[in-house]
């Protein structure tokens, strides 16, 4: 068994064993070129044959693992464990996060067996871009968001990043925080993103603790996605919040998992 940086010659082999990962296929073909050009794309060889792949993105204090796949005929041989161990050797002394669909029990058991713990649970919903009337607005530094934002992370192109006061400030400066206000009081907030890896997808993460103001914000999201010519909208809301919005289409539950390396 050997893990090495991916080469262009590996692409066809990897895409071939990934094509039926999910019922609808897989997204690896859409991101392979970008991942390879940015670095952090690795493949696992067994007896000279590429049978595994994963991508890792390293930030200053955090790292994100994504796209881990093992050839169907080579599963249950410990290769997933080998790739996670390799990732930890690449980025020592950092926090690592990854996300797994809740029905993917083998992958959840694998992550738990090497020390990953569930940090948060996120529901994925979908919406259609549309022209909508909304009183929601983009936040500015003058708005007080203390007590409104409950989440400790947020999704940015399917990578969950820490959400602290400094990051909220940065996101406000980037005009990415949408809020709903009533009688001068901020009711709810969320963060929008147009994915670099999936440019036709508009993403929105609701980071408040209640439903109040959610509908108003989501209508703003529909309108903004329409103006940006997005084809579809992905909405992430923590599982503990049950949206009281009838134009959201429920998709899947995901477990955000975390491990701290020392």
| pLDDT tens-place string over residues 17-31 | 999 888 888 999 999
How would residue 196 be classed by pLDDT, with cut points 50, 70 and 90? confident
User: How far is Cα 26 from Cα 30, in angstroms, rounded to an integer?
Assistant: 9
- Which residues have CB under 8 Å from 131's CB, separation 6+? 222, 223, 226
* pTM: predicted TM-score of the whole model, two decimal places: 0.92
Task: List the chain domain ranges.
Answer: 2-92, 124-260
- The arithmetic mean of pLDDT across residues 111-140, rounded, is 95
**Residue 203 pLDDT:** 96
How would residue 202 be classed by pLDDT, with cut points 50, 70 and 90? very high
Q: How many angstroms separate the most distant Cα atoms in the chain?
A: 67
How would residue 83 be classed by pLDDT, with cut points 50, 70 and 90? very high
Nearest to 42 by CA among 1, 79, 5: 5
- Which residues have CB under 8 Å from 142's CB, separation 6+? none
How would residue 210 be classed by pLDDT, with cut points 50, 70 and 90? confident
- Please give the C-alpha separations between residue 137 and each of 177, 187, 192, in angstroms, as whole numbers: 9, 12, 12
Are the beta carbons of 195 and 159 closer than 8 angstroms? Answer: no
Listed in sequence order, the DSSP H helices in the chain are 11-18, 28-38, 79-90, 105-113, 165-173, 214-227
Fold of 124-260: Aminopeptidase (3.40.630)
| pLDDT tens-place string over residues 92-110 | 778 999 999 999 999 999 9
- Which residues have CB under 8 Å from 185's CB, separation 6+? none
Fold of 2-92: Aminopeptidase (3.40.630)
């Amino acid at each position: 068994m050997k893990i090495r940086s991916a080469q262009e010659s590996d692409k066809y082999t990897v895409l071939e064993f990934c094509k039926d990962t999910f019922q609808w296929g897989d997204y690896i073909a859409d991101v392979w070129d970008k991942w390879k050009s940015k670095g952090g794309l690795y493949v696992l060889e067994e007896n000279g044959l590429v049978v595994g792949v994963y991508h890792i993105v390293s930030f200053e204090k955090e790292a994100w693992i994504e796209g881990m796949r093992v050839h169907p005929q080579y599963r249950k041989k410990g290769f997933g464990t080998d790739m996670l161990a390799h990732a930890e050797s690449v980025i020592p002394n950092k926090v690592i996060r990854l996300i797994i669909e809740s029905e993917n029990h083998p992958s959840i058991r694998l992550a738990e067996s090497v020390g990953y713990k569930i940090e948060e649970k996120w529901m994925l919903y979908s919406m259609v871009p549309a022209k909508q009337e909304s009183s929601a607005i983009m936040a500015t530094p003058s708005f007080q968001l203390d007590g409104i934002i409950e989440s400790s992370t947020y999704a940015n192109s399917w990578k969950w990043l820490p959400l602290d006061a400094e990051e909220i400030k940065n996101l406000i400066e980037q005009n990415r925080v949408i809020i709903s206000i009533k009688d001068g009081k901020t009711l709810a907030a969320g963060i929008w993103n147009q994915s670099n890896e999936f440019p036709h997808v508009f993403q929105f993460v609701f980071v408040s603790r209640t439903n109040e103001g959610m509908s108003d914000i989501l209508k703003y999201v529909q309108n903004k996605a329409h103006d940006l010519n997005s084809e579809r909208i992905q909405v992430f809301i923590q599982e503990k919040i049950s949206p009281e919005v009838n134009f959201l289409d429920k998709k899947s539950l995901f477990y955000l998992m975390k491990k701290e390396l020392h």
